[in-house]
Structure 1
């Protein structure tokens, strides 16, 4: 292990200590033998601590564009703004029943206002900007606002959110707060931040307990109305305490912990994992205004040239785009591999070809492999449930249970369904007792709906592999099970770089087939077309169709049996729909939602006489 990393892994991570108890009913209980140490009472204790211990250290940074310098706020100044804004929140009567809602993307004002609410026991609820800025009917946003009945709603500026604000206006009595001081139709955040600190703030802060609700985070809502997941203070603080016990370098990291991150705070990965990682350990977080999307990743790359992170966080799509940039930019490649301790992927499994490419680039650049780790969990587990705090041999290892958290593996067909219990697990869904009751089994384990498999059944300390969603897997007519999660990752790798994502079809049929969301930039490049060429022209080009057919053939050669490859693929010209619940702003595709919404495309794919689908070469 030490030879694989520029940093001694013993200085980065704790060695896993895991036991697995096998029951007579076939279920398996897995847990860490390392006890979970006491965690902070609340998130606000972290801010108060670092404002005392390192008052001048930069807490948060952001910039309006890549041409402008970073605007930063220290821990001391952040605490002052949080306390003053909390005074306004209390005076305005916000409460658990009338929480703070935030519609905008990541930013310093967003962070400080959310922390102000949590400081005095008022939940914050960051809602994905996609529901306001990309939606056409605002139906999901309306359902969220109606459920929460907010006391205040924050936007960075009212103009981009005008349509959304108008759509939800009849559903609430909230004060609209804007980060833009020139917005005459909203209360300025600057005004709130200048509120004199009242004595009630200290009283309310002292009354916060581990059981106090810190925030509501919504599930993706891929089917039906999104659910508001209750996140208590204990969930957030225990999750970070477990992280500190697995990533042992964090306890001494301090000002050396620097994160550059775009992952949205409306999701548990960006908010509870990454943001809280910085706050708990006194690091610095620079808000990346880019993201892994066409036209936006250039901003991420410019920011990465300015700030080299201690740990680089991203989702697979982001790593795909990063690798392409690193191959053509010698200076960025050197800075990245010399300065970054390790990379962390989550949100979906990292295709092995991307893992291999990062290792190869790292070896070429600095003579060592960049360590790559992952974790697993959900909004309901805040999010950490397992952590790969060791150097896995290949992509896909989600690690082992964190201290204080138990997993129960339950036989489900030929798979092991995984369930979670621990202080990091939600008590339930807001104002939804029936959904809450259905989410837990009779032993109090949360039924997350995923399946896992052991790296080695006899050595649980070697970790687990994600084995798909139990509800997504299906049987072919032959009776053979198709593991959707595993095949999706293999398919993306086989069709690289032309496939951005893949949806698996074939339920109740003889063969597996792929609906493919194409990487249009790669398709246009292969076809020799302009960057703005029509999507249909790009995906219909002979060179693209030939490459897809060859990729299907490579997958067949690897997979062999009928459930391990696809016989045909259909490239989709229309991007994934937010309103249709097909995609989250992390770029994760929901298989079931796509299959439901695109039934016509599935019918074309299954029609052996149709010319649009691409067959397996040879």
Structure 2
């Protein structure tokens, strides 16, 4: 087989384990043999639509088996897959389609309104709908079924680009991070070393697949090992409990908000979670108090750290260290190097905050058609600037402090919002919290906390201030507290802090005496 990339995986898996279940979605199961045949038929249709090596194929929609089929079919031809955030507006999606030059768009019915609002894009020649195609569009199932099942073997090298993943775009225009097939393969090696993924794995895909962690940290390693991926359309606490019990889920990934909501469910105390071997989180620092909630249930909760640009794993805390080093993001993954440095790029001392740099075969070759951004992110030796602040302890474990851009300076002192948020989370009446810096005439900047109270809890700003008083230095304690029903999030579940910073203070708001 000349395809050394992901496009060869369905054929290889079908040969090794044809009858094993590859995907579960609602009441539908797809074996590896079926996945191979469907991927091949779809690839033949994409080829008829003009897709060749290096061409881009985009997917817009919630989690679905068709996402994986479209991705693998694109890779069969040596094309580049472009997963899009289905929560974005038509102008945002149009920008990504135009920037990537995608020639094919596959979209789900939930995104029909956005798809039909797109302007005319010169490169976009074929539009495929999973359901109810509009005039001029293809129907996914019938189009695929009429494809040719004859095997396709296109030469693809490991260093060829496999994915363009657009960043969240919390500031300015999103950038398209390129990931090669080699980046994805090495990341799979790293996660399989850290988690001990097995061929009997039943993995719950509960985070959005357009997000690098759900795709590369769970679905791809599971497929590579021949396990089963149970795909949730979108995050739902009750459905998560149902699927764990029904399918005997062994492994799942989630962000902090997902695990917090799961543990707050009335079903938490009585649920049968015995099948779960590993819970894994990343994307942002996880409060230790939340990790302990899971560990007290006897569950293995592992935290990792990474970025879209590192495919994504950069560090990982293995199961054996998950209790003793709870709150740590672990040590560098097996096939990567990580440094924490000062602005002059010298190594920090133990416990000294600095920026995280990452180097290795999992690191992006750069940003799509953006040499300036690539040059700014990657320095000599292929080291990637992460923009994240961390400390390293005496055992070499990373502790993520915060994003460089989220830190603020109050009265000459650095304040890291993630530290304040973690302490707020320990309050029994707090479900979620986000802290940002806001201008202040006296101190330059002070903290403003947006707090989501737990259901039924009576929480006041005074209560929160009193709670933080003995736990944090005075300059770290927010001056303003906003009690809110929810927090704005990106499609990957991260809190949109620029949105919070831009919110005006309530009329008459003054600092407490």
Pairwise same-fold verdict (TM > 0.5): yes
Q: C-alpha displacement at 1:120, in angstroms?
A: 1.6
Distance (Å, rounded) in 2 between the aligned partners of 1:399 and 1:358: 18
Stretches of structure 2 lacking an aligned partner (at least 5 in a row):
345-351
Q: Within 5 Å, which residues of 2 pair with 1:253-264? A: 253-254=198-199, 256-264=200-208
Distance (Å, rounded) in 1 between the aligned partners of 2:133 and 2:370: 39
1:374 is matched with 303
Q: Within 5 Å, which residues of 2 pair with 1:255-294? A: 256-291=200-235
Distance (Å, rounded) in 2 between the aligned partners of 1:118 and 1:89: 11
Distance (Å, rounded) in 2 between the aligned partners of 1:44 and 1:349: 34
Pair 487,96 (structure 1): closer, same or farther in 2 beyond 3 Å: farther
Q: 1:219 aligned to 2:167?
A: yes
Distance (Å, rounded) in 1 between the aligned partners of 2:269 and 2:496: 34
Pair 572,181 (structure 1): closer, same or farther in 2 beyond 3 Å: closer
Q: C-alpha displacement at 1:192, in angstroms?
A: 3.0
Stretches of structure 1 lacking an aligned partner (at least 5 in a row):
1-39, 64-69, 363-368, 527-542, 577-582, 609-614
1:588 is matched with 494
2:48 is matched with 91
Q: Within 5 Å, which residues of 2 pair with 1:519-598? A: 519=453, 522-523=454-455, 525-526=456-457, 543-545=458-460, 548-559=461-472, 561-572=473-484, 576=488, 583-595=489-501, 597-598=502-503
Q: Within 5 Å, which residues of 2 pair with 1:338-487? A: 338-360=274-296, 362=297, 369-389=298-318, 390-392=320-322, 393-412=324-343, 415-456=353-394, 459-460=395-396, 463-477=397-411, 479-487=412-420
Match of 1:300 among 240, 250, 253: 240
Distance (Å, rounded) in 2 between the aligned partners of 1:266 and 1:373: 22
Q: Secondary structure at the match of 1:443?
A: helix
Q: Secondary structure at the match of 2:361?
A: coil
Richer in strand (by share): 2
Distance (Å, rounded) in 2 between the aligned partners of 1:605 and 1:208: 63
Pair 485,328 (structure 1): closer, same or farther in 2 beyond 3 Å: closer
Distance (Å, rounded) in 2 between the aligned partners of 1:606 and 1:441: 45
Match of 2:510 among 607, 610, 617: 607
The 8 Å contact of residues 472 and 592 in structure 1, kept in 2 or not, is answered as no
Q: Secondary structure at the match of 1:487?
A: helix
Pair 383,434 (structure 1): closer, same or farther in 2 beyond 3 Å: same
Q: C-alpha displacement at 1:165, in angstroms?
A: 2.7
Q: Which structure is higher in RCO with an 8 Å CA cutoff and minimum separation 6?
A: 1
Q: Within 5 Å, which residues of 2 pair with 1:16-55? A: 41-55=4-18
Q: Within 5 Å, which residues of 2 pair with 1:137-286? A: 138-157=90-109, 160-170=111-121, 172-180=123-131, 186-197=137-148, 202-204=152-154, 207-247=155-195, 249-250=196-197, 253-254=198-199, 256-286=200-230
Q: Secondary structure at the match of 1:47?
A: helix
The 8 Å contact of residues 62 and 288 in structure 1, kept in 2 or not, is answered as yes
Match of 1:62 among 25, 31, 34: 25
Deviations 1:222-259 (A, max 9, x none): 01111111111000001111222333x32xx21x2001
Q: Which runs of 4+ in 1 moved over 6 A?
A: none
How many residues are aligned here? 500
Q: Secondary structure at the match of 1:544?
A: coil
Q: Secondary structure at the match of 2:192?
A: helix
Q: C-alpha displacement at 1:379, in angstroms?
A: 0.5
Pair 167,377 (structure 1): closer, same or farther in 2 beyond 3 Å: same
In the superposition, the TM-score normalised over structure 1's length comes to 0.76
The 8 Å contact of residues 290 and 297 in structure 1, kept in 2 or not, is answered as no
Pair 290,145 (structure 1): closer, same or farther in 2 beyond 3 Å: closer
Q: CA RMSD in A?
A: 2.5
Richer in helix (by share): 1
The range that moved more, 305-314 or 276-285, is 305-314
